[in-house]
Amino acid sequence: MESPLAALLWRSLRVYQVFGANTEVGKTVFTTLLCKSAKRNWQEENVSFLKPVSTGPLNEADDHHIKTFTTGINHHTLIQYGIPVSPHTAALASGEQIPSDNSVLARCREHASERAKAGKGWLFMETAGGVHSPGPSGTTQADMYTPLRAPVVLVGDAKLGGISQTIASFEALRIRGYDVQSIMLFQDSKYQNYLYLADYFSQKYNIPVMSLQEPPERLDNEVRDVEAMQEYYEQRTEENIVKTVLQHLDLNHTKRLARLESMAAKAHETIWYPFTQHEHLPAKDIMTIDSAHGDYFQTYSSKSQEHGALQASFDGSASWWTQGLGHANSQLTMAAAYAAGRYGHVMFAGAIHEPAMTLAENLLQGTGNSRLTRVFYSDNGSTGTEVAVKMGLRAARVRYGWGPNEKLGVIGLKGGYHGDTIGAMDCAEPCIYNENIEWYEGKGYWFDYPTILCKDGKWQISAPEGMEKELGQPQGFASLAQIFDVEGREKKNDQKLYETFIVEKLQALRAQGRKFGALIMEPIVLGAGGMAFVDPLFQRTLVKVIRRSPHLFTDEHGVSPRTEASKEWSGLPVLFDEVFTGLYRLGRFTPSTFLGVEPDVSVNAKLLTGGLVPLSTTMASEDIFNVFRSREKVDALLHGHSYTAHPIGCQVGIESLKAMQRMERRGEWDWAKNQGWVAPRRPESCSPAPPSLASKTTTPPGQGGQVWSVWPLDLVESLSRMKTRVDGVWALGSVLAVHLRDEAGAGYSSNAALGLRAALAQGEAAGSNGPWNVHSRVLGNVIYLMASQTTTREGVEQLSNLLVKSLE
Amino acid sequence: MESPLAALLWRSLRVYQVFGANTEVGKTVFTTLLCKSAKRNWQEENVSFLKPVSTGPLNEADDHHIKTFTTGINHHTLIQYGIPVSPHTAALASGEQIPSDNSVLARCREHASERAKAGKGWLFMETAGGVHSPGPSGTTQADMYTPLRAPVVLVGDAKLGGISQTIASFEALRIRGYDVQSIMLFQDSKYQNYLYLADYFSQKYNIPVMSLQEPPERLDNEVRDVEAMQEYYEQRTEENIVKTVLQHLDLNHTKRLARLESMAAKAHETIWYPFTQHEHLPAKDIMTIDSAHGDYFQTYSSKSQEHGALQASFDGSASWWTQGLGHANSQLTMAAAYAAGRYGHVMFAGAIHEPAMTLAENLLQGTGNSRLTRVFYSDNGSTGTEVAVKMGLRAARVRYGWGPNEKLGVIGLKGGYHGDTIGAMDCAEPCIYNENIEWYEGKGYWFDYPTILCKDGKWQISAPEGMEKELGQPQGFASLAQIFDVEGREKKNDQKLYETFIVEKLQALRAQGRKFGALIMEPIVLGAGGMAFVDPLFQRTLVKVIRRSPHLFTDEHGVSPRTEASKEWSGLPVLFDEVFTGLYRLGRFTPSTFLGVEPDVSVNAKLLTGGLVPLSTTMASEDIFNVFRSREKVDALLHGHSYTAHPIGCQVGIESLKAMQRMERRGEWDWAKNQGWVAPRRPESCSPAPPSLASKTTTPPGQGGQVWSVWPLDLVESLSRMKTRVDGVWALGSVLAVHLRDEAGAGYSSNAALGLRAALAQGEAAGSNGPWNVHSRVLGNVIYLMASQTTTREGVEQLSNLLVKSLE
């Protein structure tokens, strides 16, 4: 979805979309009846018929039919093609420019919006052909119209085979989130499909099926034909059947609005929210989400009756960093449903199924990490991290001969965060997230580190305050790519200061008698810790120092570093938490290639399922796996969850990895790379990578290479120059983070970003696409916006403009 | 699914099911072509056409068509109705007994099995009408044939509207787990659906679409009509198009078998299994699951070529206790897909959406627990437990004024187990599951308790060995219901011994200065701890003692017990882990009604989604919720996962709770209750509850009342009398646990159950339904079988027979 578009919901106007189970099932007759009955039974002037796309000669068009058989009905066709074939064929044959899906939807919205202004009433939008008949662009209508989220009247098929057509069409709509509220079809005395369908839909879905006598056969004499049809309409409108349907629709409309209106208050009384101080969350601040599509939620808005009850809200946290392929992506839905239909869930201990096998193979292949050979499944980043830590600690304990009572910690980075279960919490230094939790006990040592920001238009690396002596003075770079050229910087011995700092610290810890069982860190970006953008050279150096220094971790003699070629862990097992940063969030399959080092264990989640269901994988090397092999069951990795490797998650994972890898292969992010990140630009300030590096599409590990974001470099620079409010900015992959100035100090307790968040939530005045705004999350003084992997250039532009405007 | 049925897969016979996108799309013509081409191109004698159900006059039937236009093709119709209408209408009109779905499938299997014996070849099964045209029983064919899992050739619709029909039909099949391998349709020069469809299916699904010239118009002269058609067939068979399709199908057949054959070895090299000592898991012991339906996996079996490559394996652990409504339940699939299509996933902090709201409301209402008002969502039982513990400990700390450094433990039961994340592990006493885990540190005190078993035909309560003095001598009861009549037993002061035991122990712990922040336990059954069946009176007494005894937990003066009416926690917050035992696993919405006490916090998972995707809820009382309210964010419950309250899980939860509640309301488990559990039987031995209690359908909390299992009381008694091998047996709800005798001692390290497990895995000789066996899990000396909530009487009978035979 390119632009925000508010779905069709007004208090005044009841909008229904009429889909047909087939062509020639009487959609127009039923829509005409609905219009006539609405007019008669509701005594309302505002009854409308809209045909978004129509094909065939004008005098046979549905619009013509409405005109002939009704009076006082507003009727309109948006796009008319003369040839009586499917719209995609007709559009091609017309020789005119083919309208995009978005433009058709925008025109529907505009029309509906006009009708809504005319006061209380009804609008029936009749689709063309069957549910999956292609629209002008070739997208099938069931896919094309989903963002409108108008409830549906489905016209069933009364003929032989019509039961099948009706159910299959219903399902095609339902799995796209449509609410089919009524099914109407003709009575055919021979097949009596309506009897079967009435039973079927009432039992399974509690949806009423209404059947009507068929219209008269078409007569050759046109005048008599019209008369016969008029009589038919008259009789049917007299009957209470269509009126009953309308009453049902009207009731549903009222209920839907009432539910949207009341849900926040109910949630306020019933839901215990994650990571939320309820004292700061009045009911009015709870966002009610009606649905979501692409990058946008449809959220309830009580502000304006005129512009409708829903607004498009950009999902600026990518739904807690999970979204990759857009909300309600129908390919992912189909993948999930296929696995559900083939397996449901099947237990995984000692068993294998196709989705779990294929996802494991694809992940191992995709990372290109020559150490990783094993995949352990669990449910989320937190459990995946606990698994990783259990793996790492055991491996170290066994090799270094530590007893079971030896207290082991991890080495990490300050502000690192790995999840909310106690074991994952214990990997993080004491901070606001955990210090109040009863069983939390931080187990480790957490390093300070230098971070990257674009400040006043220049890329810089800075040490945290007061650490300049240890970690270096702030240093400017010509481009982000130059910072990421870690091998080039090593050639210039840039890492020496880091090495000294790390070694001295490790020696001091050793002198204190502290013991460590693993290094665990988030490569490149520490998300929950405030979107800290870490110098990759520091992380690379940390790994390299640890790997060559077993003597800093053990009293055992003769433990020498393992060679790189052996693929065994060395010094300490290196665990990368790639839950947030992995799988193209930063533009690459794995962020470890930025560092040019391969972890021994890697955790993925979030984007793994493209943003659909929980799933996590912990990949490990064979030598760590082998530590757990013995004759004793008790030596095994005794961890597992009931839904381990659930087929739905695995199948969706396969589909979403495939989709993102295909996008990369096909260069579908080239538009983003070309926004100043890759092509040569001004030589001074935040300039791009040298072309020689930047033009490579596949990047050899550690060589810097392509560093790019969907957020334009221009935007990053401009924002970074707003010095009164902005401290610094960075962007990588689909993430943009703006560190705001806070005189009271940065960090989690800062309120500096709240004003900007409110401005983004205020959004834009309603244009023809209806109101839209941005839902964003802040981390102290940092506000971030996260696009999905399918966000378009247009979407980014709109957001960029709003962001700049809000900060000015 | 009533009986096990092996899916249709033989090395020799390539079985394909031909579905149509509509009626009259040429299914029979294409099937005839496939048969003719198979015969000609493969030079195989064994080419077969099967019409499971046919309607219409015999001389117009598809079978007749095949006879006319082919030679040497084995053709057969299983069920023929004379009237040319949908099979369900024809079946009704025929006046004959309507065959069940299972009987139709069994006959298909039998026929295919015969054909497979005839050597290498092909079998094409042509369905009737469209994909959702109802079969004889009224079940639509897409639902009816899923257990056969034959790959599909879909015949598309070439007419106007046919694009929609073809895609919708494809989707109806795909979301039921069918593998559509080829789409064939006629060429219609006007609509050219094949062009669009070829693009569509190759891009989205990589499925080839093959189109063929249409057959000649039907001629009035029958002889010439046959000639024209013969010529058409001759020409089409000469072309390579159908041959290409067959080659594609043949290749897929080979690939499918090769993948099934190789997957265990690949998994052995790639997967790190949960809770598995890999040293004990050779590749050959890894079970390859092709698919699953109802209570049965379809597992790869290399044993017998004759009986096919798949066998039906009863999912005896209900897939780690998750299954409720059967694998691949299409209602749950539709619920999941609807939510995916409407939302994907949407972030939950500070937001609300319909599925999360409704599930929360339904859960709170369903439990009927007057204390619970709040729902916190997380991903699995382990995270749900950590949330519960965080809630409980904080509440106690705040009320009792303990500082942040106070070491708090939980009170639990020995053998209790709550999950594998560190925080959940810490709630369990040291045991084989956790004692080797580096960061595990059991934090609490765990009570011994008396357990229930049917021994030698009599229900008994026994204390663990050596605890008879404290917990009472073994005591016999007339029935299980009598044991569960906890109020009746209290009237007889049966709880006094328990009270004394509990109070003395708590006093001793207090004297040691130990501090506790919560009681956490699994009501009635401790699952992972070896299926211990706890005397409900003991658990009830434990809760009651704790609630009236704040003085045993605090030094503060003046902390008196809260009244029951206040709904506030008293003594300690009482947390019930109902992950395994809740939501009808033991026959009731919540097992807390067996105890007649209401917990302050209750955790659910597993059955919550009917066995489809991970989801957990932690419900809490308002006074515990209020403890976390303050002006400080840091006081909030800082816990959350990315996919918290993911709409798919919530929607599936709504659907599965509704389904189980409906089953209860409609008395759909009456057959189970009547298997000796409820109706009066022999007065001596394991007799049922007195009729006065037993006949009640709704059970007042704590009054004993209906205690029943899907496993017949007779079976429990018979097994319990097999004294040489069996120590005791119990059954409740869908769980049957057999404690086997092990002279070397019971417990997790016992191997006593392995022989029985192997016998069950050996299964039954292949009958006409093909081979079947039982996949079961053991916990030390205990073997358990767990049915789903939709298991039928027939299924239970077959399993019971096999179990008895295997133990004899």
Check residue A61 and give its pLDDT. 76
Test A612 with B344 for CB contact under 8 angstroms: yes
In DSSP terms, which residues pair with A786 in a beta bridge? A735
Is B297 in CB contact (< 8 Å) with chain A?
Answer: yes
Using 50, 70 and 90 to split pLDDT, how confident is the model at B145? very high
Using the Cβ of B632 and the Cβ atoms of chain A, whether some distance falls under 8 Å is answered with yes
pLDDT confidence of residue B744: 75
Give me the pLDDT at residue A43, please. Answer: 82
Q: So what's the ipTM on this one?
A: 0.96
Q: Looking at the complex, does the CB of residue B203 fall below 8 Å from at least one CB of chain A? A: no
Q: B140 and A419 in contact by Cβ < 8 A?
A: no
Interchain proximity A642–B346, CB inside 8 Å: no
> What is the DSSP pairing of strand B121-130 with strand B46-55?
parallel
Residues of A in contact with B426 (CB under 8 A): 422, 439
Name every chain A residue with its beta carbon within 8 A of the beta carbon of B343.
Answer: 177, 289, 291-292, 327-328
Segment 517-576 of chain A within 8 Å of chain B by CB:
517
Query: Residue B685 in contact with residue B714, Cβ under 8 Å?
Result: no
| Residue B663 C-alpha, separation from nearest chain A C-alpha, in angstroms | 13
Contact A374 B613 (CB under 8 A): no
Q: How many CB atoms lie within 10 A of CB A280?
A: 14
Residues A123-135, mean pLDDT to the nearest whole number: 96
pLDDT at B655 over 70: yes
Is residue A403 less than 8 Å (CB to CB) from chain B? no
Spell out the domain ranges in chain A. Answer: 13-256, 344-660, 713-807
Does this model's pTM top 0.90? yes
Is the alpha carbon torsion for B117, B118, B119, B121 positive or negative? negative
Q: Which one of B266, B272, B612 has the shortest CB-CB distance to A344?
A: B612
For residues A635-652, give the mean pLDDT.
96
pLDDT of residue B446 exceeding 50, the answer is yes
A648: nearest CB among B377, B612, B628? B612
Q: Is residue B415 left, alpha or beta, with left meaning phi > 0 and alpha meaning psi from -120 to 50?
A: left
Within 10 angstroms of residue B621's Cβ, the number of other Cβ atoms is 25
pLDDT confidence of B748, banded at 50, 70, 90? low
Nearest to A611 among B275, B345, B439 (CB): B345
Q: How many Å apart are CA A309 and CA A307, to the nearest integer?
A: 7
> What band does B555 get if pLDDT is binned at 50, 70 and 90?
confident
Amino acid (1-letter code) at residue B96: E
Q: A265-274, B487-496, B550-559, B720-729: lowest mean pLDDT where?
A: B550-559
Give strand ranges (E) for A223-358: 287-293, 296-300, 310-315, 351-353
Rounded distance between C-alpha atoms, residue B417 and residue B434, angstroms: 10
Angle between helices A496-511 and A536-548 (to 10 degrees): 50
For a pLDDT cut of 70, what percent of chain B falls above it? 95
Note whether A338 contacts B164, CB cutoff 8 Å: no
Q: What is the token pair recorded at B286?
A: 């890894």
Q: At what angle do helices A27-42 and A62-69 cross, to 10 degrees?
A: 40
Residues A327 and B350: beta-carbon distance below 8 Å? no
For residue B618, the chain A residues in CB contact (below 8 A) are 272
When CB atoms are compared, the residue of A171, A285, A342 closest to B177 is A342
pLDDT at A567: 96
Residue B345: name the closest of B645, B612, B609 by CA.
B645
The answer, for B620 touching chain A at a CB cutoff of 8 Å, is yes
Q: What is the mean pLDDT of residues A295-315?
A: 89
Asked if A277's CB is within 8 angstroms of B636's CB, the reply is yes
- pLDDT tens digits for A136-152? 999 999 999 999 999 99
Q: What percent of chain B has pLDDT over 90?
A: 84
Residue of A nearest to B336 (CA): A337
- Say how many C-beta atoms besides its own lie within 10 A of residue B606's C-beta: 29
CB contact under 8 A, B168 and A163: no
User: What is the predicted pLDDT for the residue at B600?
Assistant: 98
Minimal Cα distance from A378: which residue of B?
B274
**Cβ-Cβ contacts under 8 Å, B327 against chain A:** 343-346
Q: Which fold has domain A344-660?
A: Aspartate Aminotransferase; domain 2 (3.40.640)
Closest-approach residue (CA) in chain A for B410: A439
Is A379 in CB contact (< 8 Å) with chain B? yes
Give the alpha-carbon dihedral of B702, B706, B709, B713, to 10 degrees: 110
Q: What is chain A's alpha carbon radius of gyration, rounded to the nearest angstrom?
A: 30
CB contact under 8 A, A291 and B343: yes
Whether A437 has a pLDDT exceeding 90, the answer reads: no
Q: What average pLDDT score do residues A749-767 get? A: 83
Residue A345 to residue B613, Cβ atoms within 8 A: yes
A646 touches B613 (CB < 8 A): yes
Task: Say whether residue B267 is in contact with chain A using an 8 A CB cutoff.
Answer: yes
Residues 767-796 of B with CB under 8 A from A: 777
A369–chain B Cβ distance below 8 A for any pair: no
Distance CA A221, CA A224 (A): 5
Q: How far is B440 from chain A (nearest CA, A)?
A: 9
pLDDT band at A414 (very low <50, low <70, confident <90, very high): very high
Say which of B134, B191, B439 has its CB closest to residue A196: B134
Mutation for B interface: A1, A165, A202, A394, most B CBs within 10 A:
A165
CB contact (8 A) between residue A639 and residue B177: no
Please tell me the predicted confidence (pLDDT) of residue A2.
63
Q: What is the per-residue pLDDT across B690-710, written as a single tens digit (0 to 9) for each?
A: 444 433 344 443 333 589 999
Q: How far apart are the first and last CA of chain B?
A: 28
Q: What is the pLDDT of residues B111-136, one digit of tens each?
A: 999 999 999 999 999 999 999 999 99
Residues of A in contact with B191 (CB under 8 A): 85-86, 89
Q: Is B347 on the interface with A (CB under 8 A)?
A: yes
Q: For residue A360, what are the CA distances in angstroms to A147, A374, A464, A651?
A: 34, 8, 39, 11
Query: Best mutation site among A159, A272, A575, A644 for testing chain B: the one with the most B CBs within 10 Å?
Result: A272
Chain B closest CA to A39's CA: distance in Å? Answer: 31
From A470's Cα to the closest Cα of chain B, the distance in A is: 32
Q: Which of the four pLDDT bands, split at 50, 70 and 90, describes residue A699?
A: very low
Region A615-629: what's the mean pLDDT? 98
Mean pLDDT to the nearest integer, A686-703: 42
Contact of A440 with chain B, judged by CB distance below 8 Å, is answered with no
Average pLDDT over residues B189-218: 94
Contact assignment for B349 to A273 by CB distance below 8 Å: yes
Q: Which residues in chain A have Cβ-Cβ distances shorter than 8 Å to B204? A: 331
pLDDT at A746: 66
pLDDT of residue B702: 35
Cα separation, A708 vs A670, whole angstroms: 10
Contact B274 A332 (CB under 8 A): no
Q: Is residue B117 within 8 Å of residue B146, measured between CB atoms?
A: no
Contact A386 B638 (CB under 8 A): no
Q: What share of chain B is helix, strand, coil (3-state, %, to 5)?
A: 40, 20, 40
- Choose from B1, B170, B202, B273 for mutation: most chain A CBs within 10 A: B273
CB contact under 8 A, B130 and A404: no
Mean pLDDT across A272-292: 96
Q: What is the pLDDT of residue A692?
A: 43
How many residues make up chain B in this entry? 808
Average pLDDT, chain A: 92
Q: Which of B111-115, B727-731, B740-744 has the lowest mean pLDDT?
A: B740-744
- Say how far apart CA A732 and CA A481 lie, in whole Å: 11
Chain A residue whose CA is closest to B167 = A132
- Top CATH class of B713-807 equals alpha beta
Report residue A679: phi and psi, to 5°.
-70, 150
Per the model's pLDDT, the better-predicted residue between B555 and A608 turns out to be A608
pLDDT value, residue B2: 63
Contact yes or no for B383 and A381 at CB 8 A: no
User: What is the arithmetic mean of pLDDT over A373-394?
Assistant: 98
CA distance A276 to A285: 12
pLDDT at A304: 65
Tell me what pLDDT residue B404 has. 82
Which among A141, A343, A629 is the top mutation candidate for probing chain B, defined by the most B β-carbons within 10 Å of its own β-carbon?
A343
Q: What is the dihedral of CA A197, A198, A200, A206, to 10 degrees?
A: 140
Restricting to B residues 318-337, those with a Cβ less than 8 Å away from any Cβ of A are: 319-323, 326-334, 336-337
* CATH code reported for the domain at A13-256: 3.40.50.300
Whether pLDDT at A7 is above 60: yes
Strand partners, A124: A16, A49
Task: Provide the pLDDT for residue B743.
Answer: 78
Which residues, in sequence order, are CB contacts of B421 under 8 Å at separation 6+? A382, A383, A386, A421, A422, A423, A424, B382, B383, B386
User: A1 to chain B, minimum CA–CA distance in Å?
Assistant: 14
CB contact, 8 Å: B361 with chain A? yes
Q: Is the pLDDT of residue B488 over 90?
A: yes
